[in-house]
Structure 1
Amino acid sequence: MKTVAQILRDKQNRDVHTIGPHATVLEALQVLAEKNVGALPVVEDGQLVGVISERDYARKVVLRGRSSVGTPVRSIMSAPVVTVGPQHSIRACMALMTDRHLRHLPVVENGHLVGLLSIGDLVKEAIAEQDALIGQLQQYIRGE
């Protein structure tokens, strides 16, 4: 099974878009829409301090009748952040995301944010690994 480092290396889009904790929720929503992503790591002074997602917006702004214009990201971001390192396996990440009900998982190495995995990234990789194994088994059965 591949590691997080291998998945990040193979990703077509390796850009990690971030936002600061003092930005407004509206600014975060604009970045989410512009970059077509579902979550943004929140970084302050080079350190990962939270994650803001569409889920945070729906639950902590919309359902509470708050304004996205005047609400700072810091007040609705998810923190503390659950992270993984480049050496973690897909299986470990999927288990962590399932257990903690996460859709996005920041990757941190030596205290620095180096990537962001989505549940879609992991599912895509798990399917590819299963397809490869099925192909190998079919070849074995056919005696190839």
Structure 2
Amino acid sequence: MKKVADILARKHRELISVAPAHTVLDALKIMSDNNIGSILVLENDRYMGIMTERDYARKVILKGKSSTDTIVGDIMSTDLPRISPASSIEECMQLMSVNNIRYLPVFDGDQLTGIISVNDVIKAVIANQAETISHLQTYIHSQ
């Protein structure tokens, strides 16, 4: 099955990030402008965590806080498992399921190389299944 490197190669996206001192509202605007559901949190190019729409809903909205007064560093997720470009899609599915998360940071050694979402994983699984079906059809028709 495919690897995380295959997902990252297909995404062709730059790393979009905010500093932990940014307001949640600023981060949400950037996420909206880029049509993404999470944003990397970096300080001096160092990975600090990820802020997700779920973080916003549970740690700001449901607690009656203000998006303009709350900073990203106060609500970001910092304890997410890390994966590498060599990690399998199955490993990602397992980590996401067990930890009830939708995003995983990707590291090549100590270097942050990207982020993948549950949607990225689902697309990879569907593509892999379509490829398997095509191979099986070709095999059947060649008999």
Question: Normalising by structure 1, what TM-score?
Answer: 0.94
Match of 2:4? 4
**C-alpha displacement at 1:115, in angstroms?**
0.9
Question: Cα offset for 1:112?
Answer: 1.7
3-state SS of paired residue (2:7): helix
Q: For residues 28-67 of structure 1, what are the structure 2 equivalents within 5 Å?
A: 28-67=27-66
Which structure 2 residues correspond to residues 71-82 of structure 1 after superposition, within 5 A?
A: 71-82=70-81
Partners of 1:52 and 1:124 in 2: how far apart?
22
Mark the runs of 5 or more structure 2 residues left unpaired by the alignment. none
Deviations 1:52-105 (A, max 9, x none): 011100000000000010111111111123210111011111111111111111
Residue aligned with 2:64, SS? coil
Distance 1:78 1:137 in 2: 42
Aligned equivalents of 1:97 and 1:5: distance in 2? 17
Shift, 1:16, TM fit: 1.6
Measure the CA separation in 1 of the matches of 2:99 and 2:47.
Answer: 18
Partner of 1:136: 135
**Matched position secondary structure for 2:76:** coil
Secondary structure in structure 1 of the residue aligned to 2:113: strand
Q: Which amino acid aligns with 2:75?
A: I
Distance 1:136 1:8 in 2: 24
CA distance in 2, matches of 1:115, 1:79: 15
Tell me, in whole angstroms, the C-alpha distance in 2 between the residues paired with 1:51 and 1:10.
21
Paired residue secondary structure (2:112): strand
The whole-number CA distance in structure 2 between the counterparts of 1:98 and 1:117 is: 14
Query: What's the C-alpha RMSD, in Å, of the aligned pairs?
Result: 1.2
Say if 1:46 and 1:112, in contact at 8 Å, map to a contact too: no
Residue number in structure 1 paired with 2:103: 104
Tell me which residue corresponds to 2:126: 127
1:34: Cα distance to partner?
0.7
Q: What is the TM-score of this pair, normalised by structure 2?
A: 0.94
Percent of matched pairs sharing the same residue: 42
